[in-house]
Amino acid sequence: MEATEITCPLPELPPMATYNVTSLTYMSEVTYSCRSGYVISGGDEVRTCEETGTWTGVAPTCKKVECSRPPDVVNTTWYEDKKSLRTRRVIYQCLPRYRLVSGQLWKVCGPRGNWTGQDPVCEGKLRRIIYCMRCRH
């Protein structure tokens, strides 16, 4: 009697997912990941081809990354950049009479749900200097 090689069918490919599989034979593995801006939220990241010719577990689900509210930073206000179509982005502004001394005035919702970029540092009340051209000293 001839031994037959056990193989599994191509694994399912969920929306917004990719996978890496080197073989479809018994004990081979398929490893899933999600496209940028998405994370695995359920199912199995790694599945194995079983003796029965089926994959273990279930294909994962990829869900869109959501960032929580951006951090409030001292001496600034922020607003959401509505012109940014691909990613969620916020713009910081120093309060009146304060100026940016370090950091960035924008943050982007990163691929893992975190806000990227350095917090802006706004310092020093700028003083209004009134010049008098005809003043007597």
pLDDT tens-place string over residues 86-136: 678 999 999 999 999 999 999 998 877 889 989 999 998 755 555 555 666
120/37: higher pLDDT: 120
pTM over cut 0.75: no
Q: Is 44's pLDDT higher than 90?
A: yes
CATH number at residue 98: 2.10.70.10
In a domain, 9, yes or no: no
Give the domain range for residue 122.
66-137
- Asked if residue 44 is part of any domain, the answer here is yes
In SS3 terms, the chain reads as CCCCCCECCCCCCCCCEEEEECCCECCCEEEEEECCCEEEEECCCEEEECCCCCECCCCCEEEECCCCCCCCCCCEEEEECCCCCCCCEEEEEECCCCEEEECCCEEEECCCCCEECCCCEEECCCCCCCCCCCCCC
